[in-house]
Amino acid sequence: MTDVIAEQRTNWAGNVTYRATALLRPTSVGEVQHLVTSTPRLTALGSTHSFNEVADTDAVQLTLTEMPPSLEIDTTRRTVRVAAGMTHAQVAAGLEARGWALGNLASLPHISTAGAVATGTHGSGVRNPSLAQAVVGLDVVRASGEVEHVSAGSESGSDAASGSGSGSLDAHRVALGALGVVTALELAIEPSFEVATTVHLDLPWDAVEEHFDAVMADAYSVSMFTAFDDRGARQVWTKHRVDEPAPSVDLVALGARRATEAVHPGENDAASVTEQGGVPGPWSERLPHFRSTFSPSTGAEIQAEYLIPAASAVPALRALRPLADLFAPLLIAAEVRTIAADTAWLAPSSGRQSVGLHFTFRRDPSAVAAAVLRIEGVLAPFDPRPHWGKVSAASPSRLHEAYPQLAAFAELARSLDPTGRFRNGFLDRTLG
């Protein structure tokens, strides 16, 4: 169950070479407990899809990929309990086969359920919060080796805010691996539904600016892709739930063209995207942009993303447009999404209706670092919150400004893990 690392391992994108000296692969919760208590410092690793050092350590990584998958549906409570290392693709397929659905998914279904939740990963939709908001309970192996079940019912209210007690579910939803190893998650579910994706091309900037709120709210999940150049929104993906009223904004009348064949938002073959063309299909095969059976891209990329208050979306897009020339050689795609307010302490959309401004850059770390600095300068007036799983230049003090509950979270992490068993460099820098 332990691999001593002989060769160099990287994250999925290859821009972070892990420094971990060993990779632990427990096959049961009992083994996780044993490994946690017998290892002075370790970091949980999901499916390696983060673009920064959040899942890295100079000590030991622990992955749940060898744990048995499990999926237990409670139709009365409308919840599913899943093994935390399962990917969204596995969970979605299992739910859909039994007639159930998660409310939303990220653009790729390849990521682990625990890793997605731990960083506040989100999809799109004005009524859809981050994926962490679907968590109604979780099992976590603490630094002591004890397994604790945290749920809405087990919240310890003010204890949590003061750092004593085991903390509320909202503290645990987006926890960056700092509060323990999550071995199971209970997620809210609903009856399965169908979605139809329609793509429009080249929505002009004046239409984007004038009708932004209407376009983004016109369907269950809407994404705009842009290069910030004169083409405006190069692609608008409208994911319409077929049990809801049809979209009513006429994008063609606003100057866009309806795509007549499948398009990829970046530079890859359109065979890897989920079906478009307005063909209804199950939520599990429409809400992600990319099919689970294909890689979403070559992986030679680096992503950055900032969540800003929804009301600032149009001014922020306008402010970014002068960077189009800087972006041109570097940007593969930029995506604009909406995220409903979360209650999770560290969700990038915590407490505010948000718009996500996402950038997929070519894997050129120094050019990306320079671009990220420029973006953060331009977005500074809009109170941006960097995505926890992507690159950012934000200093710890800037993160504490952006995330008002970060200090309370750091206090909670210290009280639950006094010897720093789950600490890594990323957490040391971020939590202080």
Ligand X SMILES: Cc1cc2nc3c(=O)[nH]c(=O)nc-3n(C[C@H](O)[C@H](O)[C@H](O)COP(=O)(O)OP(=O)(O)OC[C@H]3O[C@@H](n4cnc5c(N)ncnc54)[C@H](O)[C@@H]3O)c2cc1C
**Residues within the interface to ligand X (CB under 6 A):** 12-13, 43-50, 54-55, 64, 84, 106-108, 111-112, 114-116, 118-119, 121-122, 176-177, 181-182, 296, 303, 387, 389
Q: How far is the CB of 48 from ligand X (least distance, A)?
A: 5
The residue (of 108 and 320) whose beta carbon lies closer to ligand X is 108
User: What counts of helices (H) and strands (E) characterise the chain?
Assistant: 12, 20
In the 8-state DSSP scheme, what is residue 92? H
The residue (of 254 and 375) whose beta carbon lies closer to ligand X is 375
Q: How far is the CB of 263 from ligand X (least distance, A)?
A: 17
The residue (of 50 and 235) whose beta carbon lies closer to ligand X is 50
Task: For Cα atoms 382, 386, 387, give the angle at the middle one, nearest 5 degrees.
Answer: 135
* Alpha carbons 213 and 300: distance in angstroms, whole number: 33
Query: 203-206 — which CB contacts under 8 Å span 24+ positions?
Result: 203/232, 203/233, 203/236, 203/251, 203/254, 203/255, 203/256, 204/232, 204/254, 204/255, 204/256, 205/230, 205/232, 205/233, 205/321
Distance of CA 55 to the CA centre of its chain: 14
Strands across the sheet with 135-141, in order? 71-74, 79-83, 181-188, 135-141, 147-151
The residue (of 272 and 312) whose beta carbon lies closer to ligand X is 272
The residue (of 91 and 254) whose beta carbon lies closer to ligand X is 91
Residue tagged 């307005």 (tokens): 278
Q: How far is the CB of 122 from ligand X (least distance, A)?
A: 4
CB proximity list for 63: less than 8 A, separation 6 or greater: 23, 24, 25, 44, 45, 46, 85
The residue (of 49 and 240) whose beta carbon lies closer to ligand X is 49
Q: How far is the CB of 281 from ligand X (least distance, A)?
A: 19
Q: How far is the CB of 136 from ligand X (least distance, A)?
A: 17
The residue (of 95 and 339) whose beta carbon lies closer to ligand X is 339
Q: How far apart are the first and last CA of the chain?
A: 32
The residue (of 79 and 112) whose beta carbon lies closer to ligand X is 112
CB proximity list for 199: less than 8 A, separation 6 or greater: 235, 236, 237, 238, 258, 259, 262, 263, 276, 277
Residue tagged 């593969």 (tokens): 332
Q: How far is the CB of 45 from ligand X (least distance, A)?
A: 5
Contact yes or no for 307/356 (Cβ under 8 A): yes
Cα separations (Å) of 42 from 20, 21, 39, 159, 243? Answer: 9, 10, 7, 26, 46
Q: How far is the CB of 164 from ligand X (least distance, A)?
A: 22
Q: Would you list the DSSP string of 96-158? A: HHTTEE-S---S-S-SBHHHHHHTT----BTT---GGGGEEEEEEE-TTS-EEEEEGGG--TH
Q: How far is the CB of 195 from ligand X (least distance, A)?
A: 16
Q: How far is the CB of 227 from ligand X (least distance, A)?
A: 18
Q: How far is the CB of 114 from ligand X (least distance, A)?
A: 4
The residue (of 185 and 207) whose beta carbon lies closer to ligand X is 185
The residue (of 303 and 312) whose beta carbon lies closer to ligand X is 303
Chain residue at closest Cβ approach to ligand X = 115
Contact yes or no for 386/392 (Cβ under 8 A): yes
The residue (of 68 and 245) whose beta carbon lies closer to ligand X is 68
Contact yes or no for 147/131 (Cβ under 8 A): no
Q: Token digits for 14?
A: 């290859």
Q: How far is the CB of 14 from ligand X (least distance, A)?
A: 11
* Alpha carbons 102 and 86: distance in angstroms, whole number: 14
